Amino acid sequence: MVIMPKIVDHSERRKVFAQAAKEAIANKGIEPVRLVDVARAAGVTTGSLSHYFSDRDDLIDAALEELVIELEAKNRVEAMEGSLLDACMTIMPVNEEGIAAARVWLAFINRGLVNADVAKKMAVFFKINSARLSTYLIEYEGKAPRDAENLAETIGTFVDGLMVRATLDPEGWPAERQRAQVEAVLLELVGPGALIPQA
């Protein structure tokens, strides 16, 4: 009888561990997180992590990449479901998943202040996200390209700022208040079309 070695999907394991790192970061922030915290969240030993990541920073970078992939998937124009309002709300801290993601995102923003590589990655994400929102405004709201670019930057900046405030003051910014605020701003900037689901 021949015993075949267990086949392990390297990229899938890295993804699982990056998700565990995000969980640990959401609970503790980036700087206090140790490999043992991530290993505990993933249900493995720290030795298992060393097979997939060269060091702690490599693992933290993978967590950021995983978060960006998730956010980009939510923000693709072709992936948007519902209205522009609904799309904006997907990144807001209105439930446990959103709160955890926002806490991780803010931790990386903080890291970007002292780490040029992280800052560059986040700047690229903001640029891509703004371009996608601009495309949406052109295709679905009939905005002129230049107007759409400016409007996309304004909406993105507003949503990012509200996400920060709501994450830091969850009692002051419950889900209903967040949605009402985003709705009011989109009505003012875009018009009623922002509340209508895409066909």
pTM of the full structure: 0.84
Domains, the chain, in order of start with CATH, read 9-69 (1.10.10.60), 76-192 (1.10.357.10)
Distance CA 13, CA 32 (A): 23
Tens digits of residue pLDDT in 33-78: 999 999 999 999 998 898 899 999 999 999 999 988 888 777 665 5
Statement: residue 167 has pLDDT above 70? yes
Q: Which residues of 131-143 are buried (b: 16+ CB within 10 A; e: fewer)?
A: ebbbbbbbebeeb
Q: Which residues contact 148 (CB under 8 A, 6 or more apart)?
A: 134, 135, 137, 138, 141
